[in-house]
């Protein structure tokens, strides 16, 4: 009997590409709506999964949020459920006649677990089948053929690290979400989500907003002198106006050049993209979540390498010049800047890993082959790659120190002499400052002197880019999950905008948890669990042991909570999030309500005594901003749709304008 070969990939796109690379006689088979691929001459089948085809859940008897004790929930034995039954059926069907199974899912923790889940289904019908694993970082012919020529063993430690994360996140997420939702009265579709990584991340945003709100600006004074062609500044700033004025009065009509320096400065090239740096740069154009989804599509279609990586050093196995030469058909000018060098040496980052290379282009795409957003991400990856291989930028840097009656002034100038990599990486602006050539002893006329009063500024809000960087620094989440955490905070209406602003509910949840269960809001506990999962991947700890430790940690947190205070504070805070302003008719509170038909509107809290209402758009997510209308005591409203944010403004002004136009 001829035995079959079963190849398992993570997604259908990858299955189709791998099948077409390995075999010439590929036929597409279908079962229901699921496609898979067969090579009759090799009797090989390539089946693409849909990521995880098995999911973990709590037993059904614990589904009731209000009746299930939280301690019982967190101690419950989790159950596995097959969520993609058709794919499971295909795997079993082929597995019965297979003598070899190759796991070809993405090579990382999550990919290893996805492969192991599929293997468990296979082994349920064919326990003795031979199993191997292939690892690759790009879905290109060269990389795939190379990977299949040297298969390795499945790394069960790596899969167990992902399984531990899955279990811990489910236990913590479900327990804490029920805790907060039940005690706030927000259940059903409108439940309040809390999570192991999500909550410390939200605290970062809330704490920053509190810093901004509590910030008290302080006045300070700076002194400037204007010369022909440049402005110089006194190096010190003063908190006392009197002291600044005293010094200001000493300034004469001229200043003497005490020191003038001029040098050439080489500016280093950017380092190769790892996931964190890629998402930070991509967030200039779109949300990190969207950027990662697009990067994964480009990877599966063979245009870029695997986008989940910590590596910032190109391995010697990558033929850099070959890639640049191929890219010259689409980026001719940029490729020529790289190829015109006598020697091409790539820049290097601090972190070097052996699993995946940094993100780089693996295929040539023309603009018309990709959507607008896909091209934006592809071009970013290409330009970053070429910039890491280009010459350094060279600056002409000048500095002058001047003296006027004992009052010092300093000015700096810089001009770009050789653009180098900056001619390729167009996302980083070269800021040039004029400073003429001077020499020691020159006496310059002061055209104008200025004493400026300024104020200290509060810290800036977190942008997607700076938040990802801070999460990495605090070990919150992983390179593969940080963008998902941010997206979850947005979709649950905890934060909005970019830079991010927290909602009133976010303030309430974090403030209550800080008082009743602060451990949940701190990164330390999450970072500790991340380290434990690293130990599982290294084979130094067992998955059940780490999961049980996390249960015990959570149990101690639950036992320390003041539930009466938690409930009272949460309900008060959640109510605030729905208050839009003051009723113009009776002075009551205007709140967002829902009609019996499910339509949202703004109504007065004094109903039925006051029947004042305002209409609201029915589509999109509603955000009540902190900005108040100049005409009415009502906050402005924003709506978030798939296309982005649009500002409704004051709902009352909006309604009055509509009424005027339609009268």
Instruction: State the pairing for strand pair 44-48/98-103.
Output: unpaired
The model's pLDDT over 66-86, given as tens digits with 9 standing for 90+, comes to 899 999 999 999 999 999 999
Q: Mean pLDDT across the stretch 121-146?
A: 95
Number of domains present in the structure of the chain: 5
208 and 223 inside one domain: no
Of 83-92, 129-138, 446-455, 494-503, the one with minimum mean pLDDT is: 494-503
Position 611 in a domain: yes
pLDDT of 190 over the 90 cut: no
Whole-number Å distance between alpha carbons of 263 and 281: 31
CATH number at residue 433: 2.70.20.10
The answer to whether position 64 is within a domain reads no
Q: What pLDDT, in 10s, does the model give residues 234-275?
A: 999 999 999 999 999 999 999 999 999 999 999 999 999 999
Q: Is the pLDDT of residue 363 over 90?
A: yes
10 is in an annotated binding site: yes
Contacts 24+ apart (CB under 8 A), 210-219: 211/458, 211/459, 212/458, 212/459, 212/461, 215/458, 215/459, 217/455, 217/456, 217/457, 217/458, 218/455, 218/456, 219/453, 219/454, 219/455
Mean pLDDT of 38-58: 95
Phi/psi of residue 433, nearest 5 degrees: -130, 130
Residue with tokens 């990877």: 299
Average of per-residue pLDDT across 83-106: 96
Give the CATH number, domain containing residue 92: 3.40.50.140
User: Smallest Cα–Cα separation from 500: which of 458, 465, 472, 457?
Assistant: 465
Question: Which comes out higher in pLDDT, residue 48 or 639?
Answer: 48
Same structural domain for residues 606 and 485? no
DSSP string, 425-454: -TTS----B------TT-EEE--EEEEEEE
**What does the DSSP assignment read for 63-92?**
--TTTS-HHHHHHSPPEEEES-HHHHHHHH
Residues β-bridged to residue 55: 81
The tokens describing 459, both together, are 């810290």
Residues 8 and 127 reside in one and the same domain: yes
Q: Which has the closest alpha carbon to 397: 420, 421, 422, 430?
A: 430
Q: Give yes or no for a contact between 279 and 288, defined as CB atoms under 8 angstroms apart.
A: yes
**CATH number, domain containing residue 300:** 1.10.290.10
Q: Is the pLDDT of residue 108 over 50?
A: yes
State the catalytic residues.
306
Say if residue 96 is in the same domain as residue 138: yes
**Residue spans of beta strands (DSSP E) within 180-286:** 219-227, 230-233, 254-267
CB-CB contact of 82 with 90 (8 Å): no
> 78 lies in a domain?
no
Look up the CATH number of the domain holding residue 206. Answer: 1.10.460.10
588 lies in the same domain as 567: no
- Cis previous bond, 345, omega within 30: no
User: 634 and 506 share a domain?
Assistant: no
Mean pLDDT across the stretch 24-51?
95
Do residues 568 and 644 share a domain? Answer: no
Residue 14 lies in a domain: yes
Q: What is the mean pLDDT of residues 531-542?
A: 94
Name residue, tokens 């190379």. Answer: 146
In a domain, 112, yes or no: yes
The separation between CA 187 and the C-alpha centre of its own chain, rounded to angstroms, equals 27
Query: Both 185 and 280 in a single domain?
Result: no
Assign 34 a pLDDT band (cuts: 50, 70, 90).
very high
pLDDT of residue 1: 47
Higher local confidence (pLDDT), 90 or 657: 90
Report if residue 650 sits inside a domain: yes
pLDDT at 561 over 90: no
Average pLDDT over residues 640-647: 73
Q: Mean pLDDT over residues 425-454, rounded? A: 95
- Segment among 295-299, 450-454, 622-626 with least mean pLDDT: 622-626
Query: Does 410 share its domain with 502?
Result: no
Check pLDDT > 60 for residue 2: no
Q: Are 333 and 364 in a shared domain?
A: yes
- Mean of pLDDT over the chain: 92
C-alpha to C-alpha distance for 110 and 355, rounded to whole angstroms = 14
Report, as an integer, the average pLDDT of 138-162.
95
Q: Which range of residues forms the domain containing residue 536?
A: 163-213+461-572
Q: Is residue 60 part of a domain?
A: no
Between CA 424 and CA 73 the distance in angstroms is: 55
Residues 382 and 517 in one domain: no
CA distance 258 to 398: 14
Q: Residue 580: pLDDT band by 50, 70, 90 thresholds?
A: confident
pLDDT of 625 above 80: no
Q: Which of 572, 604, 628 is the last residue of a domain?
A: 572
Of all residues in the chain, the percent with pLDDT exceeding 70 is 98
Domain shared by 115 and 176, yes or no: no
Residue 71 lies in a domain: no
């Amino acid at each position: 009997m001829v035995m079959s070969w079963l190849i398992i990939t993570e997604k259908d796109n990858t299955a189709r590409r791998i099948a077409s690379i390995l075999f010439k006689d590929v036929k597409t088979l279908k079962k229901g709506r699921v496609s898979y691929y067969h090579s009759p001459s090799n009797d090989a089948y390539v089946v693409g999964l849909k990521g995880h085809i098995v999911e973990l859940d709590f037993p059904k008897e614990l589904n009731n949020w209000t009746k299930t004790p939280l301690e019982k929930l967190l101690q419950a034995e989790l159950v596995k459920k097959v969520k993609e039954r058709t794919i499971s059926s295909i795997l079993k069907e082929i597995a019965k006649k297979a003598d070899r199974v190759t796991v070809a899912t993405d090579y990382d923790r999550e990919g290893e677990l996805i492969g192991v889940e599929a293997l468990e289904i296979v082994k349920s019908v064919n326990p003795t089948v031979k199993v191997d694993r292939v690892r690759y970082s790009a879905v290109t012919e060269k990389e795939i053929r190379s990977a299949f020529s040297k298969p390795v063993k499945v790394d069960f430690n790596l899969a167990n690290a992902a399984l531990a994360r899955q279990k811990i996140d489910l236990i913590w997420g479900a327990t804490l979400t029920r805790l907060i939702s039940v005690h706030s009265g927000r259940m059903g579709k409108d439940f309040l989500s809390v999570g192991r990584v999500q909550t410390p991340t939200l605290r970062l945003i809330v704490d920053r907003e509190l810093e901004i709100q509590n910030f008290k600006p302080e006045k300070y004074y700076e002194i400037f002198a204007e010369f022909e062609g440049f402005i110089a500044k006194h190096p010190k700033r003063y908190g006392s106006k009197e002291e600044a004025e005293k010094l200001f009065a000493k300034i004469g009509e001229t200043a003497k050049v005490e020191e003038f320096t001029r040098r050439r400065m080489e500016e280093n090239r950017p380092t190769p993209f790892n996931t964190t740096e890629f998402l930070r740069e991509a967030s200039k154009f779109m949300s990190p979540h969207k950027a990662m989804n697009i990067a994964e599509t480009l990877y599966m279609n063979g245009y870029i390498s695997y986008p989940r990586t910590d590596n910032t050093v190109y391995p010697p196995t990558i033929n850099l010049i070959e890639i640049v030469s191929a890219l010259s058909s689409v980026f001719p000018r940029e490729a020529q800047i790289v190829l015109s060098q006598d020697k091409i040496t790539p820049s290097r980052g601090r972190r070097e890993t052996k699993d995946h290379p940094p993100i780089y282009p693996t295929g040539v795409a023309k603009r018309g082959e990709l959507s607008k957003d896909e091209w934006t991400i592809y071009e970013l990856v290409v330009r970053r790659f070429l910039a890491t291989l280009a010459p350094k930028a060279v600056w002409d840097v000048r500095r002058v120190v001047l003296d006027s009656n004992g009052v010092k002034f300093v000015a700096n100038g810089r001009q770009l002499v050789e653009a180098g990599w900056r001619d390729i990486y167009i996302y980083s602006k070269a800021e040039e400052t004029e400073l003429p050539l001077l020499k020691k002893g020159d006496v310059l006329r002061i055209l104008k002197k200025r004493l400026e009063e300024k104020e200290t500024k509060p810290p800036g809000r977190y942008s997607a880019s700076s938040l990802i960087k801070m999460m990495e620094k605090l070990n919150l989440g992983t390179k593969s999950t940080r963008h998902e955490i941010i997206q979850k905070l947005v979709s649950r209406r905890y934060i909005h905008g970019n830079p991010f602003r927290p909602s009133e509910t976010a303030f309430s949840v974090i403030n209550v948890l800080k008082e009743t269960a602060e451990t949940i809001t701190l990164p330390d506990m999450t970072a500790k669990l991340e380290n434990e999962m690293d130990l599982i991947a290294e084979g130094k700890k067992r998955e059940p042991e780490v999961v049980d430790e996390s249960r015990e940690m959570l149990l101690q947190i639950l036992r320390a909570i003041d539930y009466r205070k938690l409930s009272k504070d949460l309900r008060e805070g959640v109510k605030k999030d729905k208050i839009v302003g003051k009723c113009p008719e009776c002075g009551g509170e205007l709140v967002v309500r829902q009609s019996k038909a499910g339509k949202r509107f703004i109504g007065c809290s004094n109903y039925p005594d006051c029947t004042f209402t305002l209409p609201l758009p029915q589509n999109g997510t509603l955000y009540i901003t902190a900005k108040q209308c100049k005409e009415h005591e009502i906050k402005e409203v924003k709506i978030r749709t798939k296309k982005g944010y649009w500002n409704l403004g004051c709902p009352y002004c909006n309604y009055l304008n509509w009424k005027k136009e339609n009268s």
